[in-house]
Structure 1
């Protein structure tokens, strides 16, 4: 077996194991602090109108089609083939930078697919934990703009991604990993890389950590100043944080915690970023406080309705990035998750991964198109809505317009269930004498109220993942 094929098999083995292990590792925080800046509050309200976004993971990991970054981390839950040394494995991973040449890079295709699905905002991975920049950073040569793709007119990938989505009316979010496992200022080669944290004592080597802080600040500054209007700075790697913010809640998540503070001076970063991008939403994931403007539970939906801004980030398939033969969620399941999330006060950030050539897998564009067939007819019950007190009854979820004058009921049809001829719900009683409309057709439906129960009689309808109704509440 040649070495290249062997390494691909090793990476594939790790990818399959790691995806099974990483679900539900990030939950929503138990505390939330509303922003005070009027421009931030205005943008946050605008973001809450969008409800449905796309997060794109694309980087070195697309080349072998494996989990993003994590296979080069040394923690006891990560499995690697025992016949290759850890150092050789990392080198093989880094060397994918010499092969990553996405000559069919097509951000317009990505944006068109997202728009067709009814998505309204974007979060793009400008740099994941492995440190490989998907933008033309001047702070490092480890980027898409310095390898085989360097002479391509679109080598500054993030610029063209942001431009494409901006032209289609998306809010623009830049994902940025606070840890950088390729940087000698974070993972110093003097020591072994024991886990996800920086691998040297910051108190003993303050100069090195200060260099990392400068490096991080400068890269974020590049993104904030050189790439047009940015609405969201989505910061991942929540273990890079002031030590005093590590509380019992954080410890319960099971991530290894260092003995020193990995403080990168978020107030300084935020000031710089908002000077460049007034009203910028800061999403310092899991670090509750003034720089976590909305919360981001991962691969899960909170059990109950929340009264502050949040989004559930979850994958369309089993992986964040591109993995060959990935298994994608049924369209109906995605729609049901979107409905539940919105009724509970959140937004759905759906993860997709382009192929190493720069195009989306055909299955992804097909799924997004199918989702869009539903959102295009029923979006009024999703977009620009807010929570209502009695938000759930059986298979029916409820939202309301921002002015609270209209209420929406969304009945989620089970995959093995025929479209019902009668739908019933409690509470959320329509105003006497008013009409209830089926959004997909715009037609009135017959209804009656018996006690606290609203009963709808429906005509024969085609199969749909969910039925959305509009009415004036009592």
Structure 2
């Protein structure tokens, strides 16, 4: 079964499965009146496309960050890799310009993964970038570069920390007993570091992970959410700060209002069609999150279809890149990002600031909308014509190809629109349908 068939089947299953009435936004049951800043959330959702970046000393081994500790790389080896980590070719400006040129509007860096190593200068641990031969604050450099290039800056911080002695869950055969671990001390350590992060780097987004660990509780998640909002009221926080995250499975929206978090984060899959609740798909450009030699990379068509289907479903795409140990992006990954950026230069109007729908995604196309325009993203090269219902609330005035502005003859009969398509157009391409009224509140249309 090829990628496109798997993608379509998964997407249709998710569309059928979503209940879609609860909200994943706010401080949870302990803080029912605590909600994300509306302007900040609107900006986050409008950005649509961001770069995720997993990086650290583990790239010296080419294995997965965090998860390979003790499983593939012996713990004693893994925990000492920082002593060799010296990414002399790291260039924050080059990284962020690459993201910007790819059409990405925001950037999230793994400041601390499950392995506990910090890419930032922290006064609460020596297990950080300042103890490496490099001795420069990676996170600070990236925050400055994001401001320079107008890219919104965000920070990933894992609640799990398999290195910290007071964290009361062990992983990878770690022989240390948990009897001496004092979780309240670890929670305070997290709060101290997160305060450092907010004060020193001013992130617009805090992206948490690890909440499934047994020693972390629902109460801790809600408390941490409230604490962070007391430090910065307009910071956006994902659902993994609490226990409501459903991993790579179908997102379970039942009783989600009891959990803290502002938006859902389906992983390595395109989220369910949902234009009423904020969500963000995180996915790798290759197969591993951290850099791996000769890792299989997704082709351009797959990458663009992932972005388009995510936007058409109502979500953001956070696309992950894993830099090499010396600090460079692999050239093949950089080249792919340039190609994505070239497509976005022509078609970004149909992605940025849009709402998914009004047509539910199909194998042939997805739709986005903004103002009086409905954008139809064509994904099937064999599609010679498009026949779709006209939303009952509007009239179709005209249609054109977004990439070259050429008009398409509009035929509307009995509430149905038929467009004859130019099969010479290179996939994926976008049709812009101008309507008679604002499209934001159009009812969802399910294709038979």
TM range (shorter): 0.7 to 0.9
Contact 1:381 1:470 in 2 (8 A): no
> What's the CA shift for 1:34?
3.0
Contact 2:365 2:377 in 1 (8 A): yes
Say whether residues 1:126 and 2:104 are aligned partners: no
Quick one: which of 353, 362, 384 aligns to 2:322?
Answer: 353
Contact 1:28 1:302 in 2 (8 A): no
Partner in structure 2 of residue 232 of structure 1: 205
Identify if the C-alpha distance between structure 1 residues 464 and 327 changes in structure 2 by more than 3 Å, giving closer, same or farther: same
> What's the CA shift for 1:272?
4.0
Contact 1:109 1:359 in 2 (8 A): no
1:445-456 equivalences under 5 Å are 445-456=408-419
> What's the CA shift for 1:363?
0.8
Say whether residues 1:276 and 2:228 are aligned partners: no
Contact 2:90 2:326 in 1 (8 A): yes
1:283-432 equivalences under 5 Å are 283-285=238-240, 287-288=243-244, 289=258, 291-401=260-370, 403=371, 405-414=372-381, 422-428=385-391, 432=395
Partner in structure 2 of residue 216 of structure 1: 190
> What's the CA shift for 1:95?
1.7
Partner in structure 2 of residue 32 of structure 1: 23
> What's the CA shift for 1:195?
7.0
1:190-201 equivalences under 5 Å are 193=171, 200=178
Contact 2:37 2:235 in 1 (8 A): yes
Give 3-state SS (helix, strand or coil) of 1:334's partner: helix
Contact 1:428 1:473 in 2 (8 A): no
Unaligned runs of 5+ in 2: 1-16, 27-32, 245-257, 438-448
Give 3-state SS (helix, strand or coil) of 2:302's partner: helix
Contact 1:294 1:308 in 2 (8 A): yes
Measured in 1, the distance between the counterparts of 2:239 and 2:395 equals: 47
Identify if the C-alpha distance between structure 1 residues 139 and 264 changes in structure 2 by more than 3 Å, giving closer, same or farther: farther
Give 3-state SS (helix, strand or coil) of 1:270's partner: helix
Say whether residues 1:163 and 2:141 are aligned partners: no
> What's the CA shift for 1:427?
4.2
Say whether residues 1:46 and 2:43 are aligned partners: yes
Any idea what the Cα deviations from partners look like across 1:107-129, whole Å, max 9, x if unmatched?
A: 21111111111111111100000
Unaligned runs of 5+ in 1: 1-26, 81-85, 241-257
Contact 2:106 2:154 in 1 (8 A): yes
Number of aligned positions between the proteins: 400
Identify if the C-alpha distance between structure 1 residues 97 and 364 changes in structure 2 by more than 3 Å, giving closer, same or farther: same
Measured in 2, the distance between the counterparts of 1:216 and 1:172 equals: 20
> What's the CA shift for 1:209?
1.5
Of 51-60 and 297-306, the range deviating more from structure 2: 297-306
Measured in 1, the distance between the counterparts of 2:277 and 2:86 equals: 42
TM-score (norm 2): 0.81
> What's the CA shift for 1:268?
4.5
Give 3-state SS (helix, strand or coil) of 2:130's partner: coil
Contact 1:103 1:149 in 2 (8 A): yes
Identify if the C-alpha distance between structure 1 residues 429 and 370 changes in structure 2 by more than 3 Å, giving closer, same or farther: farther
Quick one: which of 388, 399, 406 aligns to 1:443?
Answer: 406
Partner in structure 2 of residue 183 of structure 1: 164
Measured in 2, the distance between the counterparts of 1:33 and 1:234 equals: 15
Of 127-136 and 104-113, the range deviating more from structure 2: 104-113
Measured in 2, the distance between the counterparts of 1:353 and 1:468 equals: 34
Measured in 2, the distance between the counterparts of 1:463 and 1:457 equals: 15
Give 3-state SS (helix, strand or coil) of 2:288's partner: coil
Identify if the C-alpha distance between structure 1 residues 291 and 303 changes in structure 2 by more than 3 Å, giving closer, same or farther: closer
Identify if the C-alpha distance between structure 1 residues 132 and 446 changes in structure 2 by more than 3 Å, giving closer, same or farther: same
Identify if the C-alpha distance between structure 1 residues 131 and 261 changes in structure 2 by more than 3 Å, giving closer, same or farther: closer
Give 3-state SS (helix, strand or coil) of 1:141's partner: coil
Identify if the C-alpha distance between structure 1 residues 396 and 183 changes in structure 2 by more than 3 Å, giving closer, same or farther: same
Partner in structure 2 of residue 107 of structure 1: 92
> What's the CA shift for 1:237?
0.3
Partner in structure 2 of residue 10 of structure 1: none
Identify if the C-alpha distance between structure 1 residues 399 and 462 changes in structure 2 by more than 3 Å, giving closer, same or farther: closer
TM-score (norm 1): 0.77
Contact 1:390 1:428 in 2 (8 A): no
Any idea what the Cα deviations from partners look like across 1:240-299, whole Å, max 9, x if unmatched?
A: 4xxxxxxxxxxxxxxxxx4x6646734553344334323111114163345310000000
Partner in structure 2 of residue 11 of structure 1: none
Give 3-state SS (helix, strand or coil) of 1:72's partner: coil
Contact 2:49 2:318 in 1 (8 A): yes
Measured in 1, the distance between the counterparts of 2:430 and 2:270 equals: 21
